[in-house]
């Protein structure tokens, strides 16, 4: 039992002006944290208590599948060179030198250290599988720390790594983590979603993120009631059928004069067609993605040429640059300049179309390009940014598949074409899903409308494959006595983000009830489960009753904070609310009838109960609140 009169809980009536995000304001006002610098926070008593409760849950659940380690946060340069990430991490890694001048870094993650242990210790398939985890401080020199505890430069992460002999083993380790993660987040009282994540250009192995919907989040996710959930970077949807236009004339592409109708809205109005009957063109120059396996390169490499990447989509669709990057093998896209449009497509902005692009790269050439082979060049071109004359990568979105008689730019100022039918009138390098899903579209599995919203990522599980075990040379002997590279997975949970997400989630519920800037934490992670508020400590009976009840609750195993301060009741009620403790017992006037007041802040329900029955009532309220954990 803790006495409020003797502990340090610096609550603030007003939030510092620097805090903008709800959870940030509340964490500061409630005295959970204080800021030391950009992306650096001190956890005070309450904050640390909440974090410790989260850590305890994570540990308890992780111990059911893995073994806890504790690795150094300070790492020598060598192991990061071995994996190729000393250079790859760039400015995001904190680097320093020791007194001898040896280079070190503060680890952003621990694939390297774990793999180095595996490399030197694991010898036989009989030792596999292994799941090793730790709960430890990570350092990342974020370009822009923000949103309180959401994006910081030093934070607690539970990171786990699995080593298996084969893919089937990895699948199992991955599934174990998925199961355990769901239990952890459920026990922490979060309303979360597991979503398909963009596994990036490398490898293409599976990856799943655990997200909590909140406006404070930085990711956009799409989900539906049928259980579909995906990061918008990757999400897709079913498309309702669109009625094609009837052919005109001989049914072949027909040039029409459309002066000043460069915008889709204008051309649609001009021709009385729907945007879905028009072909949109989005053109980029793309920086090639790095090759799949990185070496420990330290020399200067000549930058590979930019690639002309042109996407054609339905007029009412938006291009998704992540998907387009994946399709074109690029890492970054910038819009084409007018002379590049002319060069690679052959038309002016506003009148770009797929018909008549003379130099379309073939799928085969693109594959070759992505594996670092031959360049499929366009002859006789000289412009610095013209990608050394690379042929144009034309990507047709699947939303155009099977369509006919569409309207498209004619690659000629003030002209469009009608009767454009994909595959007959033009052939792209490839067809791919490169559009962004929209709110309300039917999801691809159950056809239920998609909800799109911001979310914060609280965990991520990832099938790493052989990237680290191979580059760092870990191997074991298999059943046949042959050297075999173990396959790895890595799995992370952001501990502070669980706290932040829980506050955001609760605050939005309170806001919906009309109570601004209020929240209550789930009992499992709240710094205290209950506050016993003695409304007036100068009344001996109230004080004595409060002491007794707090002692009884404490003896019964609850985390109790006794507010024995000599303050007015209003101040104490306000503070009890601010610190987000889910239950409050008020000892006041009704004690004359032997009664006290139990407030469940999660349900906003108040009950008068007999003082002598406080323990049983709180126990009942707590179990009623405890989320059921399904296995």
Q: Which chain residues interact with RNA by CB under 7 A?
A: 11-18, 20-21, 29, 35, 37-39, 92, 108-109, 140, 142-147, 151, 157, 159, 200, 202, 218, 332, 460, 462, 490, 492, 535-536, 538, 568-571, 573-575, 577-578, 586-591, 596-597, 599
Indicate the residue among 315 and 492 with the shorter CB distance to RNA: 492
Indicate the residue among 262 and 290 with the shorter CB distance to RNA: 290
Indicate the residue among 29 and 176 with the shorter CB distance to RNA: 29
Indicate the residue among 331 and 615 with the shorter CB distance to RNA: 331
Residue 157 CB, nearest distance to RNA (Å)? 7
Indicate the residue among 44 and 247 with the shorter CB distance to RNA: 44
Reply yes or no: is the peptide bond before residue 23 cis, omega within 30 of 0: no
Tokens describing residue 47? 């904050």
Indicate the residue among 569 and 615 with the shorter CB distance to RNA: 569
Residue 491 CB, nearest distance to RNA (Å)? 8
Structural contact between residues 434 and 397, judged by C-beta atoms closer than 8 angstroms? yes
Structural contact between residues 129 and 489, judged by C-beta atoms closer than 8 angstroms? no
Residue 605 CB, nearest distance to RNA (Å)? 12
Indicate the residue among 239 and 337 with the shorter CB distance to RNA: 337
Separation in Å, CA 515 to CA 102, 456, 601: 55, 23, 12
Separation in Å, CA 397 to CA 298, 403, 426, 434: 39, 11, 13, 6
Residue 460 CB, nearest distance to RNA (Å)? 5
CB < 8 Å & 24+ apart, contacts of 300-305? 305/375, 305/387, 305/388, 305/390
Residue 168 CB, nearest distance to RNA (Å)? 23
Indicate the residue among 398 and 509 with the shorter CB distance to RNA: 509
Q: Which run of H or E residues covers position 534?
A: strand 530-534
Structural contact between residues 417 and 186, judged by C-beta atoms closer than 8 angstroms? no
Structural contact between residues 257 and 414, judged by C-beta atoms closer than 8 angstroms? yes
Residue 387 CB, nearest distance to RNA (Å)? 19
CB < 8 Å & 24+ apart, contacts of 513-519? 513/604, 517/22, 517/25, 517/26, 517/29, 518/577, 519/26, 519/580
Residue 14 CB, nearest distance to RNA (Å)? 4
Nearby residues of 18 by Cβ (< 8 Å), 6 or more positions away: 35
Residue 513 CB, nearest distance to RNA (Å)? 14
Tokens describing residue 550? 């707090």
Give the HSE-up count for residue 225: Cα atoms under 13 Å, Cβ half-sphere. Answer: 3
């Amino acid at each position: 039992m803790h006495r409020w009169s003797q502990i340090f809980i610096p609550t603030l009536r007003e939030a510092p002006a620097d805090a903008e995000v709800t959870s940030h304001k509340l964490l500061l006002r409630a005295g959970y944290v204080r800021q030391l610098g950009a992306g650096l926070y001190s956890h005070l008593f309450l904050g640390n208590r909440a974090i410790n409760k989260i850590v305890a849950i994570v540990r308890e659940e992780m111990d059911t599948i893995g073994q806890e380690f504790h690795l150094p946060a300070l790492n020598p340069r060598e192991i990061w060179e071995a994996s190729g990430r000393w250079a790859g991490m760039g400015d995001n890694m904190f680097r320093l030198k020791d007194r001898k001048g040896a280079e070190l870094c503060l680890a952003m993650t621990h694939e390297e250290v774990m793999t180095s242990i595996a490399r030197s210790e694991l010898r036989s398939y009989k030792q596999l599988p292994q799941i090793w985890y730790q709960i430890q401080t990570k350092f990342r020199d974020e370009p822009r720390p923000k949103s309180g505890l959401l994006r910081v430069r030093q934070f607690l992460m539970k990171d786990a790594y699995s080593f298996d002999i084969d893919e089937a083993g990895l699948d199992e380790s991955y599934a174990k983590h998925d199961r355990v993660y769901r239990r952890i987040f459920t026990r922490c009282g979060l309303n979360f979603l597991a979503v398909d994540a963009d596994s990036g250009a490398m490898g293409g192995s599976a990856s799943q993120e655990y997200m909590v919907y909140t406006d404070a989040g930085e990711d956009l996710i799409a989900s539906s009631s049928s259980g579909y959930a995906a990061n918008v970077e990757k999400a897709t949807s079913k498309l309702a059928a669109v009625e094609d236009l009837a052919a005109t004339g001989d049914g072949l592409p027909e040039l029409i004069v459309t002066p000043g109708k460069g915008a889709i809205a204008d051309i649609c109005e001009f021709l009385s067609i729907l945007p879905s009957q028009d072909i949109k063109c989005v053109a980029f120059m793309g920086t090639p993605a790095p090759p799949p396996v990185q070496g420990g390169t330290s020399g200067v490499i000549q930058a590979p040429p930019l690639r002309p990447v042109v996407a054609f989509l339905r007029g009412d669709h938006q291009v998704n640059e992540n998907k387009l990057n994946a399709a074109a093998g690029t890492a970054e896209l910038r819009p084409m300049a007018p002379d590049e449009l002319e060069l690679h497509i052959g038309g002016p902005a506003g009148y770009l179309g797929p018909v008549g692009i003379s130099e379309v790269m073939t799928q085969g050439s693109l594959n070759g390009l992505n594996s670092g082979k031959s360049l499929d060049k366009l002859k006789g071109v000289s412009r610095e940014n013209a990608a050394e004359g690379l042929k144009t990568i034309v990507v047709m979105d699947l939303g155009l598949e099977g369509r006919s008689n569409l309207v498209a730019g004619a690659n000629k100022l003030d002209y469009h074409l009608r009767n454009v039918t994909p595959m007959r009138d033009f052939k792209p390098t490839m067809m791919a899903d490169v559009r962004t899903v929209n709110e309300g579209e039917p999801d691809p599995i159950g056809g239920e409308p998609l909800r799109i919203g911001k979310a914060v990522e609280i965990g991520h599980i990832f099938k790493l494959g052989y990237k680290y075990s191979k580059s760092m040379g870990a191997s074991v002997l298999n059943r046949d006595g042959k050297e075999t590279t173990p396959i790895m997975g890595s799995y992370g949970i952001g501990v502070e983000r669980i706290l932040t997400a829980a506050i955001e989630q609760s605050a939005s519920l309170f806001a919906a009830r009309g109570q601004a800037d209020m929240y209550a934490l789930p009992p499992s992670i709240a710094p205290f489960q209950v506050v016993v508020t003695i409304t007036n400590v100068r009344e001996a009976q109230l004080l004595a009753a409060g002491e007794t009840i707090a002692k009884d609750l404490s003896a019964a195993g609850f985390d109790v904070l006794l507010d024995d301060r000599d303050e007015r009741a209003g101040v104490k009620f306000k503070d009890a609310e601010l610190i987000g403790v889910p239950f409050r017992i008020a000892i006041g006037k009704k004690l004359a009838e032997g009664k006290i007041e139990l407030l469940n802040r999660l349900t906003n329900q108040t009950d008068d109960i007999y003082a002598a029955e406080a323990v049983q009532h709180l126990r009942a309220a707590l179990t009623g609140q405890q989320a059921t954990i399904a296995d």
